[in-house]
Copies of this chain bind each other. A is one copy, B any other.
Amino acid sequence: MKDAFRLPIGETGRLLSLLSAAGAIEDQLESALGEVGLSIAKMGLIANLVDIDEAISLSRLADRCACVRSNITQLVDRLESDGLVQREADPDDRRSIRATLTPAGRERYEAGRAVLEDRVGAMVARIGGKIPNSIIEQMERLAGRACS
């Protein structure tokens, strides 16, 4: 979210500030990844491919990325034209298309991981080097997906 608009109503303004800060953090990660030709969305997809370490159908990828299939179609389009990901046919089901990482994609992942580690390190240093569990828990609770 770009900016917390002023709403002098109970907790709403405070929640909007929280989201605004989260947006600023996200922007910084986006810009860090931009330095190596990635974005959070692209990094998210290739991180999944690295994690799985084998060809995976675009549908399963959509599940893992928690987004809609058509979004993956377009994201893979861009990653394919970046040369980081490849589509391949699934011999067992001709409806299905699977994505794999190219060698360049794997290298790019490493670059993204490094740049992210750096930037996050600098951020987290500002609050003493560790993100307290309590913050994560409260945010998850607010989101209604608390683990407890």
Q: Which residues of A contact B (CB under 8 A)?
A: 1-3, 5-7, 9-12, 14-15, 17-19, 21-26, 28-29, 40-41, 43-44, 47-48, 51, 64-67, 113, 116-117, 120-121, 123-124, 126-127, 129-132, 134-136, 138-146
Contact = CB atoms under 8 A, between A and B. Distances in A.
Contacts of A144: 24, 28, 123, 126
Given A9-B116, A65-B3, A132 B143 contact: no
A139 B135 contact: yes
Contacts of A21: 136, 139-140, 142-143, 145
Given A12-B117, A28-B144, A117-B12, A139 B22 contact: yes
A126 B139 contact: no
- What are the nearest 6 A-B pairs in CB distance? A22-B22, A3-B66, A21-B139, A24-B143, A5-B47, A5-B44
Given A5-B47, A132-B138, 18 more contacts: A1-B44, A2-B41, A2-B65, A5-B48, A5-B51, A7-B113, A9-B113, A10-B120, A11-B129, A18-B22, A21-B140, A21-B142, A22-B23, A24-B145, A25-B139, A25-B142, A127-B142, A135-B139
Given A21-B140, A136-B18, A2 B131 contact: no
